[in-house]
């Protein structure tokens, strides 16, 4: 696929991550207000506040990591790095993020299925977050009359 077809997905992912950071920041503000009303000495309130603070820091760190990856990828493209080198970088980043490529059509819920027939072949892989099990990107599978080799 040409690089331009990936940009909306990357931009959408970045925007979603930014929205998530904003949402966590809003929740942190609401929690601070609730803690003041409840009383600053409550142990459970302090633990909840600390957990939310850590979540906010983690979300901000995730966003920064994504931005570093995007900047590195853009620079590599501008410098004309070979496709094999770029593929290696992307595989490394996916491994660091615990992002798994799924090409097994056994769970068709991870794929948009097109065509008709008893046999299925994967046209485009699905992507799954191994930490949470969440589907990150749906794949495409095609039903066919003939079995694929």
Q: If pLDDT is split at 50, 70 and 90, which confidence band does 99 have? A: very high
Q: Which pLDDT belongs to residue 62?
A: 84
pLDDT for the residue 138: 96
Contacts of 77 (CB under 8 A, 6+ apart): 3, 86
DSSP assignment, residue 149? -
Burial annotation 64-74 (CB, 10 A radius, 16+ → b, else e): eebeebeeebe
- Which of 31-45, 96-110, 123-137 has the least mean pLDDT? 31-45
Kindly report which listed range (22-31, 35-44, 113-122, 132-141) carries the lowest average pLDDT score.
Answer: 35-44
Dihedral sign, Cα of residue 70, residue 51, residue 99, residue 120: negative
Q: In angstroms, how far is the first alpha carbon of the chain from the final one?
A: 24
Cα within 13 Å of Cα(59), Cβ side? 19
Give me the chain's average pLDDT, please.
Answer: 84
Tell me what pLDDT residue 46 has: 73
Say what the pLDDT of residue 1 is.
Answer: 43
- With 80 as the cut, is the pLDDT of residue 71 above it? yes
Roughly what angle, to the nearest 10 degrees, separates helices 7-38 and 43-78? 160
Q: Tens digits of per-residue pLDDT, 116-149?
A: 999 999 999 999 999 999 999 999 999 999 887 6
Domain boundaries, the chain: 1-97, 98-149
The pLDDT value given to residue 57: 84
Residues listed for the chain? 149
- Long-range contact set of residues 12-19: C-beta below 8 Å, sequence gap at least 24: 13/66, 14/63, 14/66, 14/67, 14/70, 17/59, 17/62, 17/63, 17/66, 18/63
Query: For the chain, what percent of residues have pLDDT higher than 90?
Result: 46
Helices 83-96 and 43-78 sit at what angle, rounded to 10 degrees?
Answer: 170
Mean pLDDT confidence for 44-59: 80
Does residue 90 have a pLDDT over 80? yes
Cα angle for residues 37, 41, 47 (degrees, 5° grid): 95
Mean local confidence (pLDDT), 21-44: 71
């Amino acid at each position: 696929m040409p690089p331009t077809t990936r940009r909306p997905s990357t931009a959408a992912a970045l925007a979603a991550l930014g929205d998530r950071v904003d949402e966590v920041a809003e929740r942190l503000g609401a929690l601070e207000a609730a803690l003041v009303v409840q009383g600053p000495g409550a142990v459970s309130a302090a633990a909840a506040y600390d957990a939310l603070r850590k979540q906010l820091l983690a979300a901000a760190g995730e966003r920064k990591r994504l931005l570093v990856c995007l900047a590195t990828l853009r620079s590599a493209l501008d410098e004309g790095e070979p496709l094999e080198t770029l593929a290696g970088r992307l595989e490394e980043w996916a491994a660091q993020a615990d992002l798994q490529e799924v090409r097994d059509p056994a769970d068709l819920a991870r794929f948009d299925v097109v065509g008709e027939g008893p046999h299925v072949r994967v046209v485009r892989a699905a992507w799954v977050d191994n930490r949470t099990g969440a589907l990150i990107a749906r794949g495409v599978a095609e039903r066919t009359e003939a079995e694929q080799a």
